[in-house]
Amino acid sequence: MSWLQQLKEPESGSDKYLRIEEGQSLTVRIIGAMPTDEYPDDKGFIEGWIVWEEINGKRTPHRYRTREAIPTGDYTDKPKYWWATLIMHEGKVKIWDIPQVSIRDQLKSIERNEKYGELRKYDLVVSRQGSGLDTKYTVIANPPEKLGDDDRAIALEALDTVDIEALYAGEDPFDAGSIENQVGGGEPF
């Protein structure tokens, strides 16, 4: 085993949300998808607008389905368009908040590539370099492959039990209870 293969990735922070630290590269598998006309029962992905407010000295996110739904307030940042999706990372289901245009553009570009296609069919390596306004993210797709049996079972259970839409209400999606529908569109991974 080479010295590079022996390196350990630093911890990524919370057990529930993906956090990429400066200089880190993390491997993730997107498991969520937005419902479409073709697959109306897909879940695990939402989009909208996010604003941050200082509450008791702590930055607190508020998420809204539309920009028009954002109440007038004293927010620390201007509203940003944002995505959130369920992912697998190191055998655990997490939420990946994606307010960064550069990441969303890279994900759309990868999915448009006919050799890769739908994002749930392969792992992604997401890297962060720099900090503040100098932060740069890189997303690289690994070759398409099926999700392992154990991860697949964990992912399918999460799609039934994690209510990512609870983010709009400021609640914990992992404690939001069961979701009625099964995953749409056949075998997602």
Task: Report the C-alpha gap between 12 and 154 in whole angstroms.
Answer: 19
Residue 177 has phi, psi (to 5 degrees) of: 95, -175
pLDDT of 184 over the 50 cut: no
Computed over every residue of the chain, the mean pLDDT equals 86
Which two three-digit tokens encode residue 166? 């609870």
pLDDT of 11 over the 70 cut: no
Judged by DSSP in three states, 82 sits in: strand
Residue 99: partners with Cβ closer than 8 Å, 6 or more residues away:
50, 80, 81, 82, 83
Per-residue pLDDT band for 104 (boundaries 50, 70, 90) equals very high
Give 46-73 as a DSSP string: EEEEEEEEEETTEEEEEEESSGGGPPP-
Task: Report the C-alpha gap between 26 and 95 in whole angstroms.
Answer: 14
Task: Report the C-alpha gap between 122 and 111 in whole angstroms.
Answer: 10
Q: Find the mean pLDDT for residues 151-155.
A: 94
Q: Find the mean pLDDT for residues 79-96.
A: 96
Per-residue pLDDT band for 55 (boundaries 50, 70, 90) equals confident
Residue 36: per-residue pLDDT: 80
Q: Find the mean pLDDT for residues 62-83.
A: 91
pLDDT of 127 over the 90 cut: yes
What whole-number percentage of the chain has pLDDT above 90? Answer: 70
Question: CA 127 → CA 12, 87, 189, distances in Å?
Answer: 12, 16, 23
Per-residue pLDDT band for 34 (boundaries 50, 70, 90) equals confident
Closest Cα partner for 17 from 136, 167, 188? 167
What whole-number percentage of the chain has pLDDT above 70? Answer: 85
Residue 183: per-residue pLDDT: 42
Task: Report the C-alpha gap between 153 and 133 in whole angstroms.
Answer: 39
- Residue 99 has what DSSP assignment? -
